[in-house]
Structure formats: C-alpha cells, structure tokens
Amino acid sequence: MSDADLPPPPAGELEPVKPSPAPSLPEAAPVPPVPEDLRAPWSGIDLLIFAMYCLGMLVLLTDALAALAKLRFGLPASQLAHFSTTNAGFIVCRQVLWFLSMLFYFYALLRRRISESFWRALGWRGLQLRPLAAPLLALIFLLAGCVLAIVADAASEFYTTQKQLPIQALFTDRRGVLYLMVYGILVAPLAEETLFRGIVYPVLARKFGIFAGITVTGILFGLAHALQLWGGWGQIVTLVAVGMALTAARAAMGSVAASYLLHLGYNSFLFGGFWFATDALRHLPK
C-alpha cells in the first residue's frame, strides 16, 4: 500500500515531521605528527624550573669550592673571587660537578616518565644515513668539526679585540692548560651537547619550530660562554654561529650524537692547534 492509499489523519492531529539530516561539519586539518627525536617527555615549565635549579647549583658549587680553596690554600676572602675565575683547576672541578648535578636532576625527573633508556630520552640515538655506515658517518662529523674550527678561526681575522679576554688568563699556566684540554675534549662536548641539544632544543623546536629552535639554542650556547669572552663581541657572535651549526647537525640527523661528534672535532682541532703552536705548551702566552 502506498502513502496515497492511507486514510487522512483525524482532525486535530498533525503528521509527524521527519527530522532533516544534520549538516556535516568540515573535517579538521590533520595535526602533523611530532618527529620522534622531539618527543621529549618534559615541557617548557620543566625547562624553566631546571634553569633555576642550574643557576642555584652554580652559585652553591662556586661558594662551596671557594670555601674549600680557602681552607686548603689559605686564601684571604678578598682573593677568592679572582681565584674562582682564573684558576683552571677550580673551574674544571666546578664544571664537572655542575654537569653531574644536571644529570642527577634529569634522571630524577624522568625515571617515572619514560620506559626507554635515559640517554635515548635525552636524544642520544645512533647515526643513520644510508648508504653510509655509522663509523664512516662518525668520521665525517669529526672532520666536519675540524673544518668548522678552521672557519671559526678564520673569522677571527675580521675583528680585533684590544682588551684581554677573561679566558686568556686561563692559558698562561701549563698545568691549567692541561686541565682545560682534558675537560674541553673529554667532558665539555658531552656535557654541552646533552644540555643544549639534548634538553633545551627539543622543547624549543616543538614549541616554535625547528628553525627557531636552532636559532635560539645557538644564541643560548653563545651566551653561555659570554662571561669567558666578555669584551670580545666578535668571538661571542662566532660562538653563536657555531652553536647554530651544532644544533643544525642534531636537527638534521635526529640525534645528539651528530652534534657531539661535530663539537668533539671542533674542540680537538682547536686544542691540538694550541698544543703545536706553543711547542707542546712550552711557550705559553704571557
């Protein structure tokens, strides 16, 4: 029976109104997935608290080691500030303890947030770039670090600094230079790459984009060395550029190992050049 054959509805009764189909909403644009190397299990707030912790630990370690130096060497209080900024052994000891305190803090922060290894969470992953084997790729980054050091050294020819830089006072004592060489080759690349490219960069790149992350991380890297180079503005700008190059390597390979090898080659070449230029540290600058 068709609808036309049905009897009309009784008076006073209305035919049921058929609901009209709901309008379809436009589909939201898919959110691009976050690259695996930027999926750090910490946020900008975590990074801000960590920065305050680092500043506090730096002050605490400086004061504690200065007190020990006063007891050990009998230094008067008026000389402690100068000693803490010009004694290479003091500075190296403080920096190593500072780095260890950073690792301890982040280990405590992440131990309940991650299921993967601690170092992998900090961005330390294997190098992969087909068809190159990992050992060959590592050698390329080491040599690239040497080239970066040559370029940075050549850039110094375009600016002159009349005043003595604070860091130059550390290179007048043979034992102190040996401390700095061991630290600069064995510890500094590991510590600074873990901090800047492993901890800081992923948050900045995830929040503001990869280009901004590279730029800001490079600026922070240069400013971290500003006190040692105070007055040498060309040197500081050069280190900012070096920091950007290191971060770009980390971003391109998705691994802190890339920037570490680049940094290791850079520092090794500079210290090696200083070693040969001073005849195995026999003729240090006055």
pLDDT in tens, 227-274: 888 888 899 999 999 999 999 999 999 999 999 999 999 999 999 999
Please state, in angstroms and rounded to a whole number, the distance separating the CA atoms of residues 63 and 213: 33
**What pLDDT is recorded for position 10?**
59
**What pLDDT is recorded for position 7?**
61
Phi, psi of 142 (to 5 degrees): -60, -45
**What pLDDT is recorded for position 18?**
60
**CB distance 101 to 108 below 8 Å:** no
Residue 46: pLDDT band by 50, 70, 90 thresholds? Answer: very high
Determine the average pLDDT of the residues in 207-225: 95
Determine the average pLDDT of the residues in 32-44: 85
pLDDT, tens digit, for every residue of 87-132?
999 999 999 999 999 999 999 999 989 988 999 999 999 888 888 8
What proportion of the chain, given as a percentage, has pLDDT over 90? 61
Give the closest residue to 275 by CA, choosing from 189, 185, 192, 186. 185
> Is residue 218's pLDDT more than 80?
yes
Identify which has the larger pLDDT, 286 or 261: 261
Phi-psi region of 231 (alpha: psi -120 to 50; beta: other; left: phi over 0): left
Identify which has the larger pLDDT, 10 or 187: 187
CA angle 181, 185, 189 (to 5 degrees): 135
**What pLDDT is recorded for position 73?**
78
Please state, in angstroms and rounded to a whole number, the distance separating the CA atoms of residues 53 and 192: 16
**What mean pLDDT, rounded, does the chain reach?**
88
Determine the average pLDDT of the residues in 29-38: 71
> Is residue 69's pLDDT more than 80?
yes
**What pLDDT is recorded for position 13?**
54
**What pLDDT is recorded for position 26?**
61
- Token pair, residue 63, equals 């004061």
CA angle 240, 124, 213 (to 5 degrees): 35
- Token pair, residue 101, equals 């305190």
Please state, in angstroms and rounded to a whole number, the distance separating the CA atoms of residues 37 and 250: 9
**What pLDDT is recorded for position 168?**
87
**What pLDDT is recorded for position 163?**
77
Determine the average pLDDT of the residues in 187-213: 96
pTM of the model: 0.86
Residue 172: pLDDT band by 50, 70, 90 thresholds? Answer: confident
